[in-house]
Structure 1
Amino acid sequence: MAIIKPFRALRPQPALAKEVAARPYDVLNSKEAAEEAAGNPYSFYHVSKSEIDLPEGTDIHSAPVYAKAAENLQRLLAEGTLFAEASPAYYIYKLVMDGRSQTGLVCASSIDDYNKGIIKKHEFTRPEKEQDRINHITATKAQTGNVFLAYNDVPELNSLISHWQEHNAPVYDFVANDGISHTIWVVAEAAAVEEITHRFATQVPATYIADGHHRAASAALVQKASGEDVTADKPINFFLTTIFPASQLAILDYNRVVKDLNGHSKADFISRLEYDFIVEAIGHHEQKPSMLHEFSMYLDHTWYRLVAREGTYTTDPIGILDVTILQNNVLDKHLGIQDPRTDKRIDFVGGIRGLGELVKRVDSGEMAVAFALYPVTIQQLFDIADSGNVMPPKSTWFEPKLRDGLLTHTI
Structure 2
Amino acid sequence: MAVIKPFRAVKPTRDKVSLVASRSYQSYTQAEREARLDYNPFSFLHIVNPGYKYDKEISGAGRYQLVKNRYSEFKEDGVFVQDKKPSFYIYKIVDRDQQTFNGIVAAASVEDYQNDVIKKHEDTIASREIVFKDYLKKVGFNAEPVLLTYPDSKAISSIMAEIQEQRAEFEFTTTYRDTHYLWQIDSEAHTNTITEAFAAMETLYIADGHHRSSSSLLLCKDLKAENKRHKGDETYNFFMSFLIPESELRIHEFNRLVKDLNGLTKEEFLIQLDTLYRIENRGIMPYKPSKAHHFSMYLDGEFYSMYLRKTNYKFKTSLEELDAQLLYQTILKPILGITDLRSDKRIDYLSGKKDIINLKSKIDNGEFTVGFGMVPATIEQMKHIADDGLKMPPKSTYIEPKLRSGVTIYEF
Q: Name the TM tier (shorter chain).
A: over 0.9
1:178 counterpart letter in structure 2? Y
Q: Which moved more, 1:72-81 or 1:206-215?
A: 72-81
Aligned residue in 1 for 2:346: 345
How far apart in 1 are the matches of 2:355 and 2:46?
28
Structure 1: stretches of 5+ with no match in the other structure: none
How far apart in 1 are the matches of 2:30 and 2:144?
16
Aligned residue in 1 for 2:397: 396
Query: SS at the partner of 1:15?
Result: coil
How far apart in 1 are the matches of 2:54 and 2:348?
28
1:180–1:400: 8 Å Cα contact kept in structure 2?
no
Aligned residue in 2 for 1:380: 381
1:93 aligns with 2:91: yes
Q: 1:366 to 1:85 in 2, by over 3 A?
A: same
How far apart in 2 are the matches of 1:49 and 1:351?
29
Query: SS at the partner of 2:244?
Result: strand
Aligned residue in 2 for 1:209: 206
1:18–1:174: 8 Å Cα contact kept in structure 2?
yes
Query: SS at the partner of 1:208?
Result: strand
Q: Deviations over 1:22-61 (max 9, x none)?
A: 11345456665444544111111222344555545x36x4
How far apart in 1 are the matches of 2:337 and 2:124?
23
Q: Deviations over 1:250-289 (max 9, x none)?
A: 1011111111110011121112111111111222233322
Matches within 5 A, 1:24-63: 24-28=24-28, 33-50=33-50, 52-53=52-53, 55=55, 58=57, 61-63=59-61
How far apart in 2 are the matches of 1:212 and 1:26?
15
1:76 aligns with 2:74: yes
Q: Which moved more, 1:270-279 or 1:26-35?
A: 26-35
How far apart in 2 are the matches of 1:140 and 1:31?
27
How far apart in 1 are the matches of 2:393 and 2:246?
21
Query: SS at the partner of 1:186?
Result: strand
How far apart in 1 are the matches of 2:64 and 2:30?
14
Aligned residue in 1 for 2:218: 221
Aligned residue in 2 for 1:328: 329
TM-score calculated relative to the size of structure 1: 0.94
1:269 counterpart letter in structure 2? F
Q: 1:363 to 1:65 in 2, by over 3 A?
A: farther
2:155–2:193: 8 Å Cα contact kept in structure 1?
no
Structure 2: stretches of 5+ with no match in the other structure: none
2:122 counterpart letter in structure 1? E
Q: 1:351 to 1:38 in 2, by over 3 A?
A: farther
Q: 1:231 to 1:266 in 2, by over 3 A?
A: farther
Q: Which moved more, 1:41-50 or 1:287-296?
A: 41-50
How far apart in 1 are the matches of 2:266 and 2:54?
45
**Structure 1 residue 231 displacement after superposition:** 6.2
How far apart in 1 are the matches of 2:198 and 2:183?
19
Q: Deviations over 1:88-144 (max 9, x none)?
A: 110001112211111111000011111111110011111222133213212210012
Aligned residue in 1 for 2:111: 112
Calculate percent identity across the aligned residue pairs: 35
1:63 counterpart letter in structure 2? A
Q: Deviations over 1:198-237 (max 9, x none)?
A: 2211x21111000000000111101101125876111111
1:85 counterpart letter in structure 2? D
How far apart in 1 are the matches of 2:122 and 2:54?
33
How far apart in 2 are the matches of 1:127 and 1:32?
31
How far apart in 1 are the matches of 2:361 and 2:52?
27
Aligned residues: 407
1:323–1:395: 8 Å Cα contact kept in structure 2?
yes
Aligned residue in 2 for 1:147: 146
Query: SS at the partner of 1:352?
Result: coil
How far apart in 2 are the matches of 1:286 and 1:52?
43
How far apart in 1 are the matches of 2:88 and 2:197?
14
Q: Which stretches of structure 1, 4 residues or longer, exceed 6 Å deviation after superposition?
A: none
How far apart in 1 are the matches of 2:391 and 2:410?
28
2:234 counterpart letter in structure 1? K
2:298–2:304: 8 Å Cα contact kept in structure 1?
yes
1:253 aligns with 2:250: no
Aligned residue in 1 for 2:182: 184
How far apart in 2 are the matches of 1:52 and 1:261?
42
Q: 1:35 to 1:376 in 2, by over 3 A?
A: farther
**Structure 1 residue 398 displacement after superposition:** 0.8
Q: Deviations over 1:126-171 (max 9, x none)?
A: 12221332132122100122100001112222222222212x2211
**Structure 1 residue 337 displacement after superposition:** 0.4
Aligned residue in 2 for 1:303: 303
Q: 1:348 to 1:38 in 2, by over 3 A?
A: farther
How far apart in 1 are the matches of 2:316 and 2:31?
43
